[in-house]
Amino acid sequence: MKCNGIGCAGWGALLVLAGCATPRMAPPADVAGASEILTVSDRSRASGALVNESFKLGSYDVADVNRDWDSKSSTGVGPWSKESKTTGFAFALKGQGKQLKGKCESEQKSNSILGLGGGAISWGDLKIACMCEGEGAKSELVMTNDARTLKLGDKKYKVQPIHDLEGGKTQSEPSGFRADSDGLLGAVEVQYPGQIWLKRGLDDATKMQASCIFAGLMLYQPPKDH
């Protein structure tokens, strides 16, 4: 084998990295054609109580991520009792001098673990709920096997999984989710590093609330103690 420039070892490293590239969600055509994109940057692949999980999300900052919760504790988010074993986390979405406080909880029977690098992702048999509050508004997301609903103020949206990947591929687990009512609200990629699509023309308050809820889905990890 003849290797020029970076040498044989360098080429080998590049091939390994290429083979480990994370698959990315392919947005449906109607989402891609009607949306502005909030790209993610400066996001670590690692997560946990000792990791700084802050990152940039378009013009927003996702910050103050806190996963240091007891598995039996509850914040009152979600359609289950406080006695249920849950996993939860809190975070903040900041931008334009404003801030929303977000929190999510989930309950799952599966032993699967969500890896930020993609691959062994399981949304499994779960209940997940997120809530964002601040700036005089509140948004809520509840997803179970029976229903997936997002509520922004008084308006409700149906949340549906997306299984498509770039390159025309699909996967059994969701690569992301979309939210629609009488029209599109937006979509979120849950593959690392994540990305958000929001319908063009949304008012600033709706845009921030939707971004906060979608950020919660990007940060979600299933319980590890079931």
pLDDT of residue 147: 86
Q: Are 115 and 121 in contact (CB under 8 A)?
A: yes
Return the C-alpha torsion angle 182, 132, 195, 13, nearest 10: -150
Q: What is the pTM of this model?
A: 0.83
Tokens 């996001």 sit on residue = 43
What does DSSP say about strands 176-180 and 169-170: parallel, antiparallel, or unpaired? unpaired
pLDDT of residue 224: 56
Q: Could you give the CA distance from residue 183 to residue 158 in angstroms, rounded to a whole number?
A: 10
Q: Are 126 and 101 in contact (CB under 8 A)?
A: no
Q: Of 214, 224, 226, 191, which is closest to residue 62 (Cα–Cα)?
A: 214
Which residues does residue 155 pair with via DSSP β-bridges, in sequence order?
Answer: 152
Mapped to the 3 state alphabet, what secondary structure does 134-196 carry?
A: ECCEEEEEEECCCCEEEEECCEEEEEEEECEECCCEECCCCCEEEEECCCEEEEEECCCCCEE
pLDDT of residue 17: 44
- pLDDT tens digit at each of 226 positions of the chain: 444 554 444 444 443 444 457 899 999 999 999 999 999 999 999 887 788 999 999 999 999 999 876 555 555 666 655 556 667 899 999 999 999 999 998 876 554 434 444 434 456 566 889 999 999 999 999 998 778 999 999 999 999 999 999 999 999 989 999 999 999 999 999 999 999 999 999 999 999 999 999 999 999 976 554 4
Q: Are 90 and 80 in contact (CB under 8 A)?
A: no
